[in-house]
């Protein structure tokens, strides 16, 4: 049997993992043998998610640690707890993200702008700095950070969010160049509209949903499960020669991006 997608012996740290895309990716990584620490701000939701995944896979491989991704000291605690619980980190999934403002950028407050950039960009910069030494010691590793197809175009309502997600791709490409000689791969995941609570305003409206689907060759919106295969692929040796990429999950709606 091929071990191309086997994550046995790998320690994975996921942020933004109590629900939606993060939860779905966590399940897939655990099913393929990874030992996981999952994180978000609310411990109750994390515990529920960890219990659910552990029940599905039939063993305790997922552990919850609460942390606010926008606070450096809490991320330091998260990384240290991950090492204590599961060992040195082989795989990082930076999935935590926020969008506190919906509307034109001319109306956004400084607080909302700073929160968006801090959580979506700076927190991932911090996490990469924190976990890279583990990966160097382990002889390599994989980092994936959630961006968005919003990075590829302007938006009249999600402008700051789009800017932050374009910055994520820039971060990924620079880190891929910097960490490549250490066999650490860094890639961006760019989902289109995925049917999660986070994106509910974009799909929980029949008119908007139909307009979006009309532009998608596969004829449907994305589901959290559509991210599972890519997460396992990027975490495993199957993607050993792939780094610095912005990988789009869009049903064909954003070809050639």
147, 189, 207, 223 from 165: Cα distances, Å: 5, 10, 26, 20
Tell me the pLDDT band of 22, cut-offs 50, 70 and 90.
very high
Q: What is the pLDDT of residues 36-91, one digit of tens each?
A: 999 999 999 999 999 999 999 999 999 999 999 999 999 999 999 999 999 999 99
Q: Is the dihedral of CA 57, 29, 1, 138 positive or negative?
A: negative
Spatial strand order in the sheet of 246-249: 62-64, 35-39, 11-15, 91-94, 141-146, 184-191, 246-249
Average pLDDT over residues 236-253: 97
Q: What is the pLDDT of residue 64?
A: 98
Q: What is the pLDDT of residue 257?
A: 61
For the chain, strand residue ranges (E) read 11-15, 35-39, 62-64, 91-94, 141-146, 184-191, 246-249
Q: What is the pLDDT of residue 206?
A: 80
d(CA 151, CA 1): 39
Q: Enumerate the domain spans of the chain.
A: 11-248
Contact between residue 249 and residue 257 where contact means Cβ atoms under 8 Å apart: no
Architecture of domain 11-248: 3-Layer(aba) Sandwich (3.40)
Q: What is the pLDDT of residue 32?
A: 98
Question: Which of the following is catalytic: 77, 102, 161, 179?
Answer: 161
Tell me the pLDDT band of 5, cut-offs 50, 70 and 90.
very high
pTM of the model: 0.95
Q: What is the pLDDT of residue 202?
A: 67
Contact between residue 80 and residue 1 where contact means Cβ atoms under 8 Å apart: no
77 is catalytic: no
Q: What is the pLDDT of residue 146?
A: 98
Tell me the pLDDT band of 203, cut-offs 50, 70 and 90.
low
Average pLDDT over residues 252-256: 88
Element (H, E) at 154: none
Nearest by Cα to 79 from 114, 120, 123: 123
Q: What is the pLDDT of residues 82-108, one digit of tens each?
A: 999 999 999 999 999 999 999 999 999
Which residues contact residue 244 at a Cβ distance below 8 angstroms, ignoring those fewer than 6 apart? 172, 173, 176, 177, 180, 186, 187
């Amino acid at each position: 049997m091929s071990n191309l997608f086997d994550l046995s012996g790998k320690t994975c740290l996921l942020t933004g993992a109590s629900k939606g895309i993060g939860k779905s990716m966590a399940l897939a990584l655990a099913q393929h043998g990874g030992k996981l620490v999952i994180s978000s701000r609310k411990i109750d939701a994390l515990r529920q998610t960890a219990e659910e995944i552990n029940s599905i896979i039939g063993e305790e491989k997922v552990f919850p640690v609460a942390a606010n991704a926008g606070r450096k000291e809490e991320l330091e605690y998260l990384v240290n707890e991950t090492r204590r619980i599961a060992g040195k980190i082989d795989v990082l999934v930076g999935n935590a993200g926020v969008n506190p403002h919906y509307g034109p950028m001319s109306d956004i407050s400084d607080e909302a702008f700073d929160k968006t950039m801090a959580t979506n960009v700076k927190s991932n910069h911090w996490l990469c700095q924190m976990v890279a030494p583990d990966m160097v010691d382990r002889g390599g590793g994989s980092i994936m950070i959630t961006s968005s197809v919003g990075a590829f175009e302007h938006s009249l309502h999600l402008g700051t969010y789009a800017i932050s997600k374009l910055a994520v791709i820039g971060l990924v490409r620079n880190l891929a160049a910097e960490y490549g000689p250490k066999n650490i791969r860094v890639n961006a995941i760019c989902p289109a509209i995925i049917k999660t609570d986070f994106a509910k305003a974009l799909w929980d409206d029949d008119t908007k949903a139909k307009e979006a689907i009309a532009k998608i060759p596969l004829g449907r919106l994305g589901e959290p499960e559509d991210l599972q295969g890519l997460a396992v692929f990027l975490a495993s040796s199957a993607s050993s020669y792939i780094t610095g990429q912005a990988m789009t999950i869009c049903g064909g709606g954003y070809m050639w991006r």
